[in-house]
Amino acid sequence: MQARVERSLPSWAVALLLIAVAIGVHAPILGCSFFSDDFQVLWRLGTNGGSSFFRPLSDLSLQANLALAGPEAWTFRMVNLTLLGINGWLVHVLARRLLGNEAALSAGLLFVLYPFHLEPQAWIIGRGIALASAFTLGALVVATGHAPAMMRTIAVTLLVLLGSLCYESALLAPLLVSAWWLILRPADAKGWRVMVGASIAVVVLNLALRWMVLGGLANDYGAAFFGK
């Protein structure tokens, strides 16, 4: 039944379906106020204060949200929920390439409905996580596609760079690309080596920029994970 339904839906329709499910399921949180650290983020955005984290693209997204819609919590969450649906669609695309149509829609729905990763939906500061996930998943979709190797390398490099400017989890992209290389065992091994190397170069660049801006690879919050 599911396979027949999925074959009848074009990719854009699956994306809209997953966005609708993401918004519908999480609709109760749209009426909630800001939570916890959200207030500190709002104060920093409103006063143009600096951040102890190196997440410039995430900050820029939140600043644009505030400028366009004001301090309305539901508008921030609507963007985050839309990103959740988009990320679910990217998971669907990857699952379709690996497992076929029978499991692809289930994978996308499971990603959207999984009840234990709520921070990107409930907290506005989860915007960075949602954006980093989108760019990293996008890089994997491009890497597993059929475009010429050079085009894939350029796109993967750009997407990993954008993801690394949103949240630290995107720095794991080289490992994820390598994992997909081992799983798929593609014929163009040279192209995949270049993509892995390019993503590693992006990570090194991000760490260098992070050191220049923050004076170290991690702020006090991040450093505490290694000492406490």
Looking up tokens 């102890």 gives: 52
What pLDDT is stored for residue 45 in this prediction?
Answer: 83
Q: Is 70 left (phi over 0), alpha (psi -120 to 50) or beta?
A: left
Distances (CA, A) of 187 to 62, 142, 190: 42, 16, 9
Residue 139's closest CA among 105, 169, 163, 107?
163
d(CA 46, CA 152): 39
Separation of CA 121 from chain center? 12
CA distance 139 to 198: 12
Which token pair is 219? 């702020």
The sign of the CA dihedral 113, 117, 118, 121 is: negative
The single residue listed with the structure tokens 């350029």 is: 154
Q: What is the pLDDT of residue 201?
A: 97
Query: Does the global pTM surpass 0.85?
Result: yes
Query: What pLDDT shows up at residue 228?
Result: 61
One digit per residue, the tens of pLDDT, for the chain of length 228 reads: 444 544 557 888 999 999 999 999 999 999 999 988 899 888 888 887 667 688 999 999 999 999 999 999 999 999 999 999 999 999 999 999 888 777 899 999 999 999 887 888 889 889 999 999 999 999 999 999 999 999 999 999 999 999 999 999 999 999 999 999 999 999 889 999 999 999 999 999 999 998 888 776 766 566 666 676
SS3 100: coil
Cα dihedral across residues 39, 40, 42, 47: positive or negative: positive
- As a whole number of Å, the CA-based R_g of the chain is 19
Measured CA angle at 176 (ends 171, 179), to 5 deg: 150
Q: What is the DSSP string of the chain?
A: -HHHHHHTS-HHHHHHHHHHHHHHHTGGGGGS---THHHHHHHHHHHT---SS--HHHHHHHHHHHHHH-S-HHHHHHHHHHHHHHHHHHHHHHHHHHH-HHHHHHHHHHHHH-TT--HHHHSGGGHHHHHHHHHHHHHHHHHTS-S-HHHHHHHHHHHHHHHHTT-GGGGGHHHHHHHHHHHH--S-HHHHHHHHHHHHHHHHHHHHHHHHHHSSSS-HHHHGGGT-
